[in-house]
Amino acid sequence: MKEHDFICNNLARQLTVVFASHTYIGSPFVVGSHHLANQFAKMGHTVFHLSTPISPAHLLKVNGSSCRVRFANWLKGGERRNRVINYVPFTFIPWNIAKYYHRKNLMYSACWPPLPRKIKQYGIREIDLLLIDQYSFVGLEELIRPKVSIYRATDLYSEMGNDQRIDQLEEQLVQRADGIIATSAPVLKQLRRYNAAKPWLLLENGVDFAHFYHKSDPPSPLSGLGGPIAIYAGALDDRLDRAALKFLATALPELQLVLIGPCNAKDRGYFQACSNVHLLGQVDYAELPYYLNYATFGLLPLSDHPANEGRSPMKLYEYAASGLPVIARHTKELGRREERHVHLYKSLEELIGQARQLMKHAGSAALDRESICQSAHIHSWESKAEQLIDFAEGIARNTGSPDKLLSGSGALQESLASSSSG
């Protein structure tokens, strides 16, 4: 039986990791799988980052920028960026059909070229670790046969998709996986309903600290704004409380609200009457720190959407690494974390009161931006990646099978304990 010896502190055999992610690298949104893939590469491991397939149905939308980028990636057979391979597969059976036959793995079995062949074309003969972060990848582990598979759930997916079938798919993923990772306590609680004995790890989303922690001159879209600036960067979808933003803009006309993220005519029409609301659209991730650094405080106005209860917002720590205090709508998860730089509100009156307080102390010693920056440092993606590898190592060791032995980088995570009630 083949053994995989390991030595800590990056002297070990290089691992091969397949990350099955809902968001392709190059998307307008830089998500946790992208950060973890980069950190694994820095640790010396090889990463095959696989995202949701495109299908013939997407060819009808090829004029859209997202479809065009994904289709181009498949046509050229993926791309290698140092140790990270970014690949968008093509399938003849899209998910809206395959989901009814998920037990047969139709979507991934119908990929061209076949996924096992594509992975081998990049020199990967064995897969040490498979990380799945979306329910639609159910059954992928049977196709590519990793030594260890982990389901890393980042949201309450059934609430987001408003589809109870997702619960069934997640239950299958939990039962088939060797371990589970959740990015929030509510998500962990949901997963452990399916199998309370499964090894688990609560690992919140992190921050690229070095990327956001630096001083800069204001970008031109902000340089002409007078008065304090409140900033939101992220998706402008149903999980964002637009009404709260409009209420804030109307109540505090001296406050400039800057909204960053893909937007449409409906979004612009909603805030048309608010002269102090500025929708900047999409901003490149490389430029985002310049905008955050110049703001007075960050905003995370969550709506009543039930999926928000399981959110693990990266923005909390990206704001903090930029030195920004944050005003956020209260959830049990955010309350559980007790972050000193995060000011939670339960009513619109509290939102206005907290905004006034932060505006009052802007630029004063009472607002220690450097201290806020340092509070984000412990949430770095480097730390998260090390904890994840440690967790995988623990799972591999506990199987008792030498051919599942993985390299570790620190203390073993506890894999069995009672979950938080959130």
Per the confidence metrics, is the pTM higher than 0.95?
no
Q: What's the pLDDT band for 102 if we cut at 50, 70, 90?
A: low
pLDDT of residue 273: 94
Q: What's the pLDDT band for 8 if we cut at 50, 70, 90?
A: very low
Cα separation, 116 vs 132, whole angstroms: 16
How much of the chain, in percent, has pLDDT values that exceed 90?
A: 68
* Across 337-363, average pLDDT: 93
pLDDT of residue 420: 37
User: For 313, how many CA atoms within 13 A lie in the half-sphere containing its CB?
Assistant: 32
Give the tokens for residue 79.
């791309």
**What mean pLDDT value characterizes the chain?**
86
Instruction: Examine domains 16-206+382-404 and 209-377 and report if their fold is the same.
Output: yes
* Across 292-299, average pLDDT: 94
pLDDT at 407 over 70: no
When mean pLDDT is compared across 20-29, 57-66, 133-142, the lowest value belongs to 57-66
How much of the chain, in percent, has pLDDT values that exceed 70?
A: 88
Q: Are 222 and 294 contacting, i.e. CB atoms less than 8 angstroms apart?
A: yes
Cα separation, 112 vs 110, whole angstroms: 7
pLDDT at 120 over 80: yes
Cα separation, 113 vs 87, whole angstroms: 12
Adjacent-strand bridge partners of 278: 258
pLDDT at 316 over 90: yes
pLDDT of residue 159: 80
Give the tokens for residue 326.
């944050």
DSSP string, 43-96: TT-EEEEEEPPB-HHHHTTTTSHHHHHHHHHHHTT-EEETTEEEE--BBSS-HH
pLDDT of residue 315: 94
**CATH T-level assignment (fold) for domain 209-377:** Rossmann fold (3.40.50)
* Across 359-373, average pLDDT: 77
Give the tokens for residue 202.
């609560």
Q: Tell me: the pLDDT tens digits for 148-164?
A: 999 999 998 888 766 77
pLDDT of residue 61: 66
Q: What's the pLDDT band for 257 if we cut at 50, 70, 90?
A: very high
pLDDT of residue 3: 31
Which one is predicted more confidently, 138 or 248?
Answer: 248
Structural domain spans, the chain = 16-206+382-404, 209-377
Q: What's the pLDDT band for 214 if we cut at 50, 70, 90?
A: confident
* Across 59-76, average pLDDT: 82
Q: Determine which helix (DSSP H) or strand (DSSP E) holds 280, and give its type and residue range.
A: strand 277-281
Cα separation, 186 vs 421, whole angstroms: 7
pLDDT at 203 over 60: yes
pLDDT at 10 over 70: no
3-state secondary structure of 32: helix
* Across 317-324, average pLDDT: 95
Give the tokens for residue 318.
């990206």
* Across 187-198, average pLDDT: 94
Distance, first Cα to last Cα, the chain: 43
pLDDT of residue 355: 97
CATH architecture of 16-206+382-404: 3-Layer(aba) Sandwich (3.40)
pLDDT of residue 4: 35
* Across 94-99, average pLDDT: 80
When mean pLDDT is compared across 9-13, 40-44, 212-216, 360-364, the lowest value belongs to 9-13
pLDDT of residue 94: 84
Q: Are 319 and 296 contacting, i.e. CB atoms less than 8 angstroms apart?
A: no
pLDDT of residue 246: 97
3-state secondary structure of 10: coil
Find, among 79, 133, 69, 143, the residue nearest to 107 by Cα. Answer: 143
From residue 410, give the alpha-carbon distance in Å to each of 35, 151, 156, 263, 330: 20, 21, 30, 43, 34
Q: What's the pLDDT band for 404 if we cut at 50, 70, 90?
A: very low
Q: What's the pLDDT band for 68 if we cut at 50, 70, 90?
A: confident
